[in-house]
Each structure stands twice: as C-alpha cells, then as structure tokens.
Chains A and B, each alone.
Chain A
Amino acid sequence: MLLVLYVVFSNLMRIQVEHYQLFLLLGIILWNFLDRGTSMSIWGIIGKPSLVQKVYFPRDILVISTCITALMMTALEFVVFIIFMAAFRVVPGMTIAYFPILFICEFLIILGLSMALSALNIYFRDVQFIWRLVVQVGFFATPILYPITIFPENVRWIVMLNPMALIITMMRDCALYGIAPEPLNLIYVAVSTLIVLQVGYFIFDRLEPKFAEAI
C-alpha cells in the first residue's frame, strides 16, 4: 500500500517533499489509527448482545477497551516507523516532545467519535456504512498523501478546520522536520478534542439506557 502510494504520488503527481516516504508512512499510520479505532468500536457494543443483555457493567468499557486495542496496534506500527526513520537517517529534534501530546489528542478524538458511533449504530444499523464512506472521503480530504502547501494560501484554513488535518500536519512537523507547532493551532486542537469527546459522551449517555432493549 505504502509502496503503491509512494510510486504514484512521488512520480506521477510530482509531489516534492523532503523524506516523502516517511511523510507518507506517518500520515497513513495516523489516519489508520482513526479508521481502525472507530470501525472496531462501531462493532464494540452491537457485536456483543449477550453481554449487554445479561450482565450490567458500565457500557463505555466496551468502547474504551476497543479504542485501547487500536491504540496498541498503532503503537506497534510506530516501531516500524522508527526503523524506517533510522534507515533514512532522520533524527528527530527536541520538538518530538510535542508528539505524544498530539497523539493523546488524536486518541481522545477517536474515543469521542467511537462513543457516538457505537451508540448510534445500535439504533441505526447503517451508521457503520455511512461512516466507512466518511472515513474514505476524509482520507483524501486530509493532507496525508500531499502536503497542505498544494492548496492555495487562501483555502488552506478551510482544510485545516479539520482537527485531524492539523494533528497530522503538526505531528509530521515535529517528528520529521523539527518544527514546533504553533500555540494557536495547539489550542485549537485541544479545544476541538474536548468538544468531540464531550459530544460523544453526551450522545452515548443519552442512548445508553435502552441499549439492552434495542440491540
């Protein structure tokens, strides 16, 4: 997958980015984390009707545990990424310190989305299909394959409204290019993370009492 994308985008589309292999790999790993976390969580509750109908425990445990599973899978992928970095002799600077903070933000966004999606999917069984489409569109609408600089200056802010676009760009900057994130962008990411998490939990809490009946 990485190879195909690398060949297509570096040669055919002539994207000129320093360390494009690593740029692409990190973007894909981070986007996969979102994709995997939410898609697994959508099934987290509906896939276990016997548990939900027969014992009581706080239902969000199912979603949280699934998200942590996705987190661990992504952590493994980072090991591969570090090997690639060593192979290409890229040494991250002090700015790498921002990397975990941004990563936690991404995890919390995924958790918030998962909460809402897993609860909605019980009542509307096609949410999972709609969400697949959203994830696919998001993959191309987020600067993963290309740098944000391919957009003209005046529309960049629209793309950057998407917190995932900001997170991925900033994580790349701090890991590969030694550029520290701008404080304003960090604040924007933190605030949107909290909003997503809050809304996710709110939807989950509202729908939770009838899980056992609706499942």
Chain B
Amino acid sequence: MVVKVKHLWKTFQIPHEKRTTFFENLAGLMRPRQYETFTILKDVSFEVEEGECAGIIGDNGSGKSTLLKIIANILRPTKGTVSVAGKMTPFLELGVGFQPDLTVKENIGVYATIMGLSRKEILDRMDDVIDFAGLQKFEDTKLKNLSSGMQVRLAFSTAIQTDPDVLLVDEVLAVGDMEFQQKCFEVFNRYRREGVTILFVSHDLGSVRRFCDRTLLLGAGEQRAFGGTEEILDRYVYDREVGSNDQKICHAKEEVTDSLNPKGSGNKKVTILGAKFLDKFGSERARFNSLDPMTVRIFYRAIKKFSDITFGISLYSEDGIYLYGTNTKIKNATISLTEGDGYIDLHIERIPLISGRFFLSLAAQSLDCQVTYDWIDKMYSFEVLQTGREGGLIEISCEWIV
C-alpha cells in the first residue's frame, strides 16, 4: 500500500465574528467564540497500491481537492490518518512560486527547488525543460513577458522533471490547448509505465476512464464508493439525477396528461401521454453515458381500437438540427391499438451520440401519414455524457485500415 487513508475526517470552523488581531482576541475573551462547523470529509478510507492510478471524482464541493491537500500534507486531518510511502509530488497548481521579474531559466531553478530537486539535477535538466516547453528562444526572457500559455507549459515541463513515487494531480490538465493536453497525457502514461502511483482528481470522466484502474467517488464529503473505474463512473452518472432531472420528466408528463399540451397538435384520436428514457437497468434517466443502451418508452391513450397507426420519433440536437427520424412503419412493426392506455418501446442498442443534449419529437399518425393523431414537438430531452476520447456530436462506427 503506497497511499493509505484511514477514517479521515476534516472539519472547518467558520467563526461568525472574525478575530484576527491580538486585541480583538483580548476583547473577545469574555464572550464565547461562536462558529459553525462544516464537515467537508466524513470518514473516508481507501488504499492505493503501488503503480496504481486512482481517480477521485465527485461534484463540486464534495471534498476532492481538500482530500488531495490533506494527502499532500498541506492541510491536516481533524481525525484519522494518512500515510504515504515514498517521494510525493503534488501537482495541485502549476507555477507556484514563479517570479515575474526573473528570467525563464531562473524561474525553472526556483520552481524546481520548490518541487524538491537538487541544484545539480536542475542544472542537468535545464535544457530538457526548455526543450519540452518549446521556449528555446525565450530562455533569458523575463517571465512577465511570456504569454500565459507559455508560462503554463514552462511550469508543467519543470514539474515533470521530478521523479516521484506518488503523484497527486488536481485538474492540472484542465488548462492548456489540445496539443498541451495531449503532451500531459503522454507524460502521465510514461509515469504509469514507470510504476508511479497516481492520484488523479478530475471532472473529465473521459480521462478518468482512460487512466484510472480504480476510482473513488465522493459525494458531499462522504465516500460513496471505491472500486473499479467503469463501475464507479456508471454509478456516478446514473446515480445523481434522482433530484432535478426526474422532476422535469414528471413535469412534462403531467402537462401531457392534462391534455392541454400546447405543443401537441393533431386530432387527438390517439394521444401521446409522455415518454420515458430507460437505461440498461430499466430505470428512468435523463442522463446517459455515450454508447450505452437506451429504451424510449412512449405512453399513449387511444379513444378507440386502431390498426391504421404508426408511431414515429425524430431526434434533434440542442441547436435544432434534425439528426434522425424513424417510425414503426419504416421498421416494419405493425401495431394495432386497443382502446385505452398502453405503451410502446423503442430499443436502442447503442446510443450513437458522443455528448450534448438531445430533443425528441413524437408523433402518432395514420399509416399513409395523411392524418396526424398527435404530434409532440421536441418536448422530451436527455443528455449524453462523453465517456471516451472521440469527439463530436454523433458516433460513426468505423475502423482504420492500414
């Protein structure tokens, strides 16, 4: 076990009245201090083994960065213990201690010292750093005259010169252009091959999925789960919408059931009552991992027996581009409705969407499409979260032939 965290608690005290001077404290001796306590980490325990890459994910304010700072020994735990074996390098923020008035070379010296390199190592690697950052022309320029991108590159290339046993990374990759991010990933891959233990905090689920063997999920300071990355990410994505998004769906459904739906049009001989998006476990969601299975369940109400009917859907992107449309007739599904309520499922084996919010229109029409029974325009939406490295709106199934 390289990193061991046992029953870790962290509580911050937020005093109502600020006493920062000696005299304020003297004056305040008579009155008891009032403060609120805020527990940011509650009983977090996990272990990371050597050479493993562990991801830490969770919503904003769930204590990810605090946890990392405690592991880095910057903050101290209220209760519990943290032990780290080996040399640790925290990438909590790049460019700590940069002096704008010193030259690039001098700053490399300063920063590398802070990161724990000896003078000799710094001198040996000076050229590597400058090469990697691509700043050969600017090595004697004052730091303040560099662009912010150059400063970040410089900081990163200096920081990676350390040979850590344990690396703590906190959202460092969020800055920088595509090329730079790619470079970062290459460096981290190199570290992984060298058997460095990495703790990685990120909101970018794609990179967590790519890098981490195991993942810790934090929610409001509590340890929700720790285990295999795939499983945890699924849980993170599918767990958290119990609140807001469900309401939206219910809300939409109510509107339809009231049959005062302003968006609906048609003669209402068949009414579409609503639609639900079901995930692979059969529960209702508004958020899906890209390339996961999904079922669209359409609820309807028929006022009489029908056989002259086709249900259709059309899918739109967030900015209203028509992406796909199909109906039961095209797919050769013959249906005949009995009077009353029912539902029909559209099963999608693999959502070929990468990321974004998508809108669905539903229609019930006669077979020749001459009579529209009901039409609900872009009323239902779901969100797709990117999980892989491929970009864009839709997925095209393909492979390279070399």
Contact = CB atoms under 8 A, between A and B. Distances in A.
Is A bound to B?
Answer: yes
B74 A53 contact: yes
Contact of A126 (B22, B69, B96): B22
Interface string A115-148: 0000000011111001000000000000000000
6 contacts: A52-B74, A55-B72, A56-B73, A124-B20, A124-B25, A210-B76
Contacts of A53: 74
A126 B21 contact: yes
Contacts of A210: 76
Contacts of A126: 21-23
Given A55-B96, A55-B97, A55-B115, 6 more contacts: A54-B96, A55-B92, A56-B74, A57-B116, A210-B76, A212-B75
A212 B23 contact: no
A123 B97 contact: no
A123 B72 CA distance: 23
B12 A213 contact: yes
Contacts of A52: 74
Main secondary structure of the interface of A (DSSP, over half): helix
Nearest to B116: A57
Contacts of B55: none
A51 B20 contact: no
A50 interface: yes
B170 to A, nearest CB: 10
Nearest to A122: B20
Interface string B180-206: 000000000000000000000000000
B114 interface: yes
Interface of A: 50-57, 123-127, 130, 209-210, 212-213
A213 B97 contact: no
A195 to B, nearest CB: 23
Given A56-B73, A212-B75, A213-B75, A51 B97 contact: yes
B127 interface: no
B76 A209 contact: yes
B29 to A, nearest CB: 13
Given A54-B74, A56-B74, A209-B76, A124 B92 contact: no
Nearest to A130: B22
Interface residues of B, number: 20
Interface string B22-48: 110100000000000000000000000
Contacts of A127: 22
A54 B116 CA distance: 14
B90 interface: yes
Contacts of A56: 72-74, 90
B255 interface: no
Contacts of B90: 55-56
Contacts of B115: 55
A50 B114 CA distance: 12
B69 A212 contact: yes
B339 interface: no
A175 B75 CA distance: 48
Contacts of A55: 72, 74, 90, 92, 96-97, 114-115
Contact of B21 (A57, A124, A212): A124
A57 B74 CA distance: 9
Contacts of A130: 22
Interface in B68-91: 69, 72-76, 90
Contacts of A125: 20-21
B241 interface: no
A125 B73 CA distance: 24
B20 A54 contact: no
A54 B92 CA distance: 7
B114 A51 contact: yes
B343 to A, nearest CB: 55
